[in-house]
């Protein structure tokens, strides 16, 4: 019985010793592992997650990321096919496809990124130098953009290369870049998933001229709109003045007709009244004349036989 207990205790001690010396290790879901023995790989890469066993002290666990990794290049100046110097900022996505080859050829992620720097930079330079700037900027669906340009009235001032048919486009160029670079990365145990151009811009010396041209073009379009607006305003104002003169002329004509009829009616009334009693009418008009001439600053010099005093002479004394 004692011997049995000793065996169990000894087995337990051995298990604890094995565990404490690192015989077991865990492979995570996003990891892949290569076991090395005295610096040399042993067996195939372990890509399945779970609890694994290795020889303590002799074997070493080398862990590599199984997920898609990011590469970001530094913006570089590159000349295009049409001799335009531009800044190109590129990014890429990659992953470790062969951990054994990656361990022997690259080992660390820093070294892998350095290798990708040289590969992707050369591929991007070749693609930029083989295409015009408009091809690097435009992409599929440019026909819709052309329709929008026509709608805003910009097509008339657009340069020929802007409205020219699309040969490749940005998306096809980036796919060609990815295919070219992918041929050089498998020797490092790396798979290049995607290569993208993040940003394209003119160099500072050209950028200022581009902005000046854009400002000048916008001013030209604004001046055109203002000119068209002023022409439309002049047309509307001319029609308004014409209508106003027509209304004024019609009103003046109507007023003159009413006034003429009123004068004629008044003359008729005066005539009828005069014909009824011409003497009384003459007397009434003379009194009105006396009243209108009775002013402090008015001086009249008349002879005594003047007809102006006709009715004053006839007043009985």
DSSP for 53-72, please give it.
E--TTTEEEEEEE-S-EEEE
Last residue of a domain, one of 168, 202, 236: 202
Give the global pTM.
Answer: 0.58
Same-domain status, 178 and 77: yes
In a domain, 142, yes or no: yes
End residue of a domain, out of 37, 65, 93: 65
How many Å apart are CA 96 and CA 103, to the nearest integer?
10
Closest CA to 196 of 286, 58, 70, 37: 70
264 shares its domain with 282: no
Rounded CA separation 179/184 (Å): 9
Whether 195 and 209 share a structural domain = no
Same domain, 91 and 101: yes
Residues 285, 269 within the same domain: no
Neighbours of 129 (CB within 10 A): 11
Q: At what angle do helices 278-292 and 204-276 cross, to 10 degrees?
A: 130
Q: Does any domain span residue 281? A: yes
- Examine residue 1 and state whether it is found in any structural domain, yes or no: no
Same structural domain for residues 226 and 296? no
**Look-up: residue for tokens 């998306």?**
171
Q: Is 3 contained in some domain?
A: no
Total structural domains within the chain = 4
Same-domain pairing of 169 and 118: yes
Its sign, for the CA torsion 109, 113, 114, 116, is positive
Q: What is the pLDDT along the chain (317 residues), one digit of tens a residue?
A: 567 777 776 766 666 655 555 678 888 898 999 999 888 888 888 888 888 888 888 888 899 999 999 999 888 888 999 888 888 999 999 999 999 999 999 988 999 999 999 999 999 999 999 998 888 888 766 555 556 555 555 545 555 555 566 678 888 999 999 999 999 999 999 999 999 999 988 877 777 777 787 888 888 889 888 999 999 999 999 999 999 999 999 999 999 999 999 988 888 887 777 777 777 777 777 777 777 766 666 676 767 676 666 666 665 55
pLDDT at residue 82, rounded to an integer: 86
Q: Which of 171, 202, 233 is the last residue of a domain?
A: 202
Residues 262, 291, single domain; the answer is no
Domain extent for 225: 205-276
Same domain, 173 and 296: no
Q: Cα 129 vs. chain centroid, distance in angstroms?
A: 28
CB 52 within 8 A of CB 25: yes
Residues 288 and 214 in one domain: no
What pLDDT does residue 297 have? Answer: 67
Are 154 and 81 part of one and the same domain?
yes
Q: Is 179 found in the same domain as 88?
A: yes
Measured distance CA(221)–CA(214) in Å, rounded: 11
Which pLDDT belongs to residue 124?
93
């Amino acid at each position: 019985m004692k011997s049995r207990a000793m065996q169990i205790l000894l087995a337990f001690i051995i298990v604890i010793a094995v565990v404490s010396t690192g015989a077991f290790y865990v492979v995570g879901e996003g990891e892949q592992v290569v076991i090395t023995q005295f610096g040399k790989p042993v067996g195939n890469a372990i890509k399945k997650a779970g609890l694994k066993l290795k020889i303590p002290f002799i074997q070493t666990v080398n862990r590599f990321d199984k997920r898609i990794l990011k590469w970001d290049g530094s913006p570089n100046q590159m000349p295009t096919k049409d001799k335009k110097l531009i800044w190109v900022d590129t990014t890429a996505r990659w992953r470790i496809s062969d951990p054994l080859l990656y361990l022997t050829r690259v080992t660390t992620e820093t070294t892998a990124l350095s290798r990708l720097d040289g590969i992707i930079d050369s591929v991007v330079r070749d693609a930029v130098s083989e295409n015009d700037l408009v091809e690097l900027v435009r992409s599929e669906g440019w026909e819709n953009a052309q329709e929008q340009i026509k709608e805003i009235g910009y097509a008339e001032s657009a340069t020929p290369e802007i409205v020219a048919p699309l040969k490749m486009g940005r998306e096809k160029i980036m796919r060609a870049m990815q295919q070219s670079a992918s041929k050089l990365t498998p020797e490092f145990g790396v798979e290049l998933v995607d290569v993208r151009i993040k940003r394209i811009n003119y160099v500072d010396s050209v950028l200022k001229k581009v902005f000046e041209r854009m400002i000048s073009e916008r001013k030209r379009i604004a001046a055109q709109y203002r000119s068209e607006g002023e022409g439309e305003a002049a047309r509307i104002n001319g029609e308004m003045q014409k209508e106003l003169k027509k209304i004024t002329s019609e009103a003046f004509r109507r007023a003159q007709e009413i006034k003429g009829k009123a004068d004629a009616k008044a003359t008729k009334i005066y005539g009828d009244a005069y014909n009824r009693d011409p003497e009384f009418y003459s007397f009434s008009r003379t009194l009105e004349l006396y009243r209108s001439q009775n002013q402090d600053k008015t001086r009249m010099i008349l002879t005594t036989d003047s007809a102006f005093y006709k009715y004053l002479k006839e007043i009985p004394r």
